[in-house]
Amino acid sequence: MAKGEGLAELRILIAGGGTGGHIIPALAVARELVNRHRADVLFVGTARGLENRLVPQAGFNLRLIEVGPLNNVSLATRMRTVLELPGSFFECRRILREFVPGAVLGVGGYASGPGMAAALLLGIPAMVLEPNAMPGLANRLVGKRVQAAAVNFASAAAWFRNAEVTGIPVRPEFFTLEPPAGKDPHLLVFGGSQGARLFNTHLPQIVPALLDAVPGLTVLHQSGARNFEVTQSTYEASGADPSRWQVKAFLDDMPARFAQAHLVMSRSGASTVAELAAAGKPALLVPFAAAADEHQRRNAEVMQAAGAAVMLQEKDIETPGLLLKTLRELLADSERLAVMAQAARTQAHPAAAEHIADRLAALAAHGVRQTA
């Protein structure tokens, strides 16, 4: 529940979380619900997810339930989660009866399944927010039973009733970036907040040859804190010109870093892909092979099909010659990068948070809508 006085006419419960890719878009929608509709918003999540820290920081109330993962985990973990499910379901039902929301939004993650199941049982209008091209397990299980869905990729719509391609929320700064100031190409390499060990291992091996092959090229590599010293040392040992590369543990202003880049090499989580689209940045995408339901690969395939990115698998990165060839060809072809940048922008959704908030408000106001 957002801080404020009085009882809000519109009450929305948001269930789910776990990773930043789930909870950050959910928080953006929650803010729009408050700003546009004076809504009272309550989150339901787990103690193990990022929502446990990010939701209270954003000024919203959070109720915790006990439930773990079912997908891509050991048999022991799966069995423990199965045993937790009845309790988590009844706890969600109790929370819903106390809070009495007009609608429930499931954003995927551990708490989404029990929260959505309880809403459906109680007859509360339910909507899912699906950021990936391949929906997660919780959203797939309820997809044909919910009243509405907001998806980031058109390919995900087939899993849901009343689905609409709204995109997912992205910080407004990404939509207003100016093109890179210099003509010399600049490569941004990052693997998320923890870095990508694969990138940290294999990029330094090819950097000397890449710098020789692409005149004026500079490289900024985000390694993650845990691997910073090793990655820095590996770059130094490569003999590459130290004035043309830089390793950082963290990148504090991602819109500014995107603005400077002519090409971005990254993973293909939903939030990263949405930011690339908003910024109009061509990308070399390397899906995380262990991602549940291969959703990163599917996200990258959509961007590649749109002409906005080139995709390499993890096994391709382990072949230095192929990685070097791909980066060299992209960075040396400014016209191709410009075409890819235009294609990336066609995948952007500037008003995603507002659109999703308005759909939720309408769902709550009109109740269950009959759909085909």
Q: How many residues does the chain have?
A: 372
What one-character-per-residue DSSP string does 47-95 give?
TTSTHHHHHHHTT-EEEE------SSS-HHHHHHHHHHHHHHHHHHHHH
Give the pLDDT of residue 46: 87
- On the question of pLDDT at 313 being above 80, the answer is yes
Mean pLDDT of 64-84: 60
- Return the number of other C-beta atoms located less than 10 Å from residue 61's C-beta: 15
Give the pLDDT of residue 357: 97
Specify the CATH number for the domain of residue 325.
Answer: 3.40.50.2000
Give the pLDDT of residue 74: 57
Give the pLDDT of residue 3: 41
Mean pLDDT of 295-299: 92
Mean pLDDT of 209-236: 94
Give the pLDDT of residue 4: 41
3-class state of residue 44 by DSSP: strand
Mean pLDDT of 223-234: 92
Read off the tokens for 85: 């499910």
Q: Are 113 and 197 in a shared domain?
A: no
Phi, psi of 16 (to 5 degrees): 130, -170
Of 80 and 41, more confident? 41
Q: How would residue 84 be classed by pLDDT, with cut points 50, 70 and 90?
A: low
Q: Are 161 and 200 in a shared domain?
A: no
Instruction: Out of 6-10, 178-182, 289-293, pick the least confident.
Output: 6-10
Give the pLDDT of residue 194: 55
Q: Are 291 and 327 in a shared domain?
A: yes
Residues ≥6 apart with Cβ < 8 Å to 43: 13, 14, 15, 17, 26, 30, 51, 55, 60, 61, 62, 63
3-class state of residue 122 by DSSP: helix
- The answer to the question of residue 5 being in a domain is no
Q: Are 150 and 178 in a shared domain?
A: no
Of 3 and 241, more confident? 241
- The answer to the question of residue 245 being in a domain is yes
Q: Are 76 and 179 in a shared domain?
A: no
Mean pLDDT of 34-53: 92
Q: Are 152 and 58 in a shared domain?
A: yes
Q: How would residue 139 be classed by pLDDT, with cut points 50, 70 and 90?
A: confident
What one-character-per-residue DSSP string does 127-174 give?
EEEE-SSS--HHHHHHTTTSSEEEESSGGGGGGSSSEEE------GGG
Read off the tokens for 220: 């900024």
Span 90-110, pLDDT tens digits: 889 999 999 999 999 999 877
Q: Are 185 and 271 in a shared domain?
A: yes
Structural domain that includes position 273: 173-345
Q: Are 280 and 316 in a shared domain?
A: yes
Q: How would residue 295 be classed by pLDDT, with cut points 50, 70 and 90?
A: confident
- The answer to the question of residue 3 being in a domain is no
Span 267-283, pLDDT tens digits: 999 989 999 999 999 99
| pTM reported for the whole predicted model | 0.85
- The answer to the question of residue 6 being in a domain is no
Q: Are 49 and 179 in a shared domain?
A: no
DSSP 8-state code for residue 262: S
Give the pLDDT of residue 1: 41
> Are 316 and 323 spatial neighbours (Cβ–Cβ below 8 Å)?
yes
Give the pLDDT of residue 17: 84
Of 259 and 2, more confident? 259
> Are 294 and 218 spatial neighbours (Cβ–Cβ below 8 Å)?
no
- The answer to the question of residue 219 being in a domain is yes
- Return the number of other C-beta atoms located less than 10 Å from residue 201's C-beta: 15
Q: Are 321 and 266 in a shared domain?
A: yes
Q: Are 164 and 177 in a shared domain?
A: no
- On the question of pLDDT at 368 being above 90, the answer is no
Q: Are 105 and 38 in a shared domain?
A: yes
Mean pLDDT of 125-151: 89
- The answer to the question of residue 191 being in a domain is yes
The per-residue pLDDT of the chain, averaged, comes to 88
Residue type at 260? Q
Read off the tokens for 114: 């029990």
Domain count, the chain: 2
- On the question of pLDDT at 114 being above 70, the answer is yes
- Return the number of other C-beta atoms located less than 10 Å from residue 240's C-beta: 19
Q: How would residue 6 be classed by pLDDT, with cut points 50, 70 and 90?
A: very low
> Are 242 and 258 spatial neighbours (Cβ–Cβ below 8 Å)?
no
Give the pLDDT of residue 5: 44
Give the pLDDT of residue 371: 36
- The answer to the question of residue 114 being in a domain is yes
User: Taking the CA atoms of the chain, what radius of gyration do you get in angstroms?
Assistant: 22
- On the question of pLDDT at 195 being above 50, the answer is yes
> Are 221 and 231 spatial neighbours (Cβ–Cβ below 8 Å)?
yes
Q: How would residue 142 be classed by pLDDT, with cut points 50, 70 and 90?
A: confident
Task: Count Cβ neighbours within 10 Å for each residue of 70-80 and write b for 16 or more, e otherwise.
Answer: beeeeeeeeee
- The answer to the question of residue 372 being in a domain is no
**Sign of the C-alpha dihedral computed for residues 90, 94, 99 and 101 taken in this order:** positive
